[in-house]
Amino acid sequence: MPTVCVSASISYFNRSGGHPWLYLSWVHGLEDVGCDVIWLENVDPARFPDGLDDFLAAVEGVLRKHDVRARVALASATGAPLPWDGLDGYLTLDSATAEADLYLNLAYHFDEGVVGRFRRSAFVDQDPGVVQLCLSDGTLRVAEHDLYFTIGETVGRRGSRIPDCGLPWLRTRPPVSLRAWPRVNGGGDRYTTVSNWWGSDEWVELYGEPVSNEKRTAFLEFIDVPARTEAEIELALTLGPWDVDEAERKRLESHGWHVRPLWEETWGPAEYRAYVQGSRGEFSCAKPLYVRLETAMIHDRTLHYLASGKPAVVQHTGSSEYLPDAEGLFRFRDIDEAASALAAVEADYDAQCAHARALAQEHFAADAIASELLERALD
């Protein structure tokens, strides 16, 4: 089996603890089909003025705790030499490029000085619509790759609202590691989700019109959902102790939402997983661009709920060839549909839990998705 170098980003994950799972699921899938994986982290010196000891301990801790066998490579974003000594236990960029049959770009930090050194490279768009808009207006620049994959079902299709940027997009699906996310029987008391709230960089220009892509914008459209259902819904949000955040929390609670401020504690991947698996299911709204551009996007967070046997009720993001609007995953367009979906889950909860796990197994198993991508990337 091939050696695959994956650009990952534990160094950038926030307190929600969910972000590393985006990379962990891909790596689990690759390792489960027999690949030797190299985990490549961006360690630009300006970001680490006090050295790498704490950061490397955090990376190693996450990888070993979550049964990742990958070797770790370190590089700057440009491929320039690193200034630190004592990195003998880690692969250099030269070693990674010499060994790798494929470079899989999951974190878009490296420029041509890194990407161009690999024999074969594949870019994976995991934020469909947003990535293409940012490529179009120059706010995101990526080096040339041999292949371009996207988890957006409508990217590159005739009639799509999403610019294709002149690139030949290939479709893949977001993976979830079924061995890392086993089914957990029994439901908690509340439907939950984990989300950012504000976002200073979440305003984008869509065909000449400024559009807010904040999750706050999405949720406020559905602020009256708790009044329409007997289900309890909790939002774990990136709200802090500041007055403006406190006002947001009180506003949500006055409409029946339960709010858990994420800044109160630091969550790693394990704590995030425990929170998801202790939930009754997921209730979440989608970023506005996913809806307006009809991306048919499903978030990797939702896959964590499904794999755990937790039904998901999430906002509709466009017609899909494989996403249902019932049986484990309900997608709503308005408040009436959201309330009806929660009622449908509660009416046959155990069956919906089984449907959720089956959906993850059938369409999002990390090993199957990794195998399909490798077949096309290394053909």
Secondary structure (H, E, C), the chain: CCEEEEECCHHHCCCCCCHHHHHHHHHHHHHHCCCEEEEEEECCHHHCCCCCHHHHHHHHHHHHHCCCCCEEEEECCCCCCCCCCCCCCCECHHHHHHHCCEEEECCCCCCHHHHCCCCCEEEEECCCCHHHHHHHHCCCCCCCCCEEEECCCCCCCCCCCCCCCCCCEEECCCCECCCCCCCCCCCCCEEEEEECCCCCCCEEEECCEEEECCHHHHHHHCCCHHHHCCCEEEEEECCCCCHHHHHHHHHHHHCCCEEEEHHHCCCCHHHHHHHHHCCCEEEECCCHHHHHCCCCCCCHHHHHHHHCCCCEEEECCCCCCCCCCCCCEEEECCHHHHHHHHHHHHHCHHHHHHHHHHHHHHHCEHHHHHHHHHHHHCC
Q: Average pLDDT for residues 35-44, to the nearest whole number?
A: 96
Tell me, what's the pLDDT at 120? 98
Q: Residue 58 pLDDT > 60, yes or no? A: yes
pLDDT digits (tens, 9 = 90+) for 268-289: 899 999 999 999 999 999 999 9
Nearest residue to 176 (alpha-carbon basis) of 301, 274, 296, 5:
301
Rounded distance between C-alpha atoms, residue 47 and residue 132, angstroms: 27
pLDDT digits (tens, 9 = 90+) for 206-250: 887 888 899 999 999 999 999 999 999 999 998 888 999 999 999
Tell me, what's the pLDDT at 256? 99
Tell me, what's the pLDDT at 265? 63
Among 64-68, 107-111, 137-141, top mean pLDDT goes to 64-68
Q: Residue 76 pLDDT > 90, yes or no? A: yes
Distances (CA, A) of 42 to 24, 107, 108, 309: 16, 9, 10, 35
pLDDT band at 17 (very low <50, low <70, confident <90, very high): confident
Q: Average pLDDT for residues 22-39, to the nearest whole number?
A: 98
Tell me, what's the pLDDT at 201? 64
pLDDT digits (tens, 9 = 90+) for 314-350: 999 999 998 988 899 999 999 999 999 999 999 999 9
Rounded distance between C-alpha atoms, residue 326 and residue 323, angstroms: 9
Among 11-15, 26-30, 194-198, top mean pLDDT goes to 26-30
pLDDT band at 203 (very low <50, low <70, confident <90, very high): confident
Q: Average pLDDT for residues 50-76, to the nearest whole number?
A: 93
Tell me, what's the pLDDT at 200? 61
pLDDT band at 132 (very low <50, low <70, confident <90, very high): very high
What does the mean pLDDT of the chain come to?
94
Rounded distance between C-alpha atoms, residue 8 and residue 308, angstroms: 24
Q: State pTM to two decimals.
A: 0.96
Q: Average pLDDT for residues 62-69, to the nearest whole number?
A: 96
Nearest residue to 145 (alpha-carbon basis) of 131, 159, 160, 133:
131
Q: Residue 85 pLDDT > 90, yes or no? A: no
Tell me, what's the pLDDT at 325? 86
Lowest mean pLDDT among 138-142, 204-208, 249-253: 204-208
Q: Residue 15 pLDDT > 70, yes or no? A: no
Domains along the chain with CATH numbers:
3-175+365-377 (3.40.50), 190-363 (3.40.50.2000)
Tell me, what's the pLDDT at 1? 87
Tell me, what's the pLDDT at 185? 92
- 191 within 8 A of 257, measured Cβ to Cβ: no
Share of the chain above pLDDT 70, in %: 97
Q: Average pLDDT for residues 91-117, to the nearest whole number?
A: 96
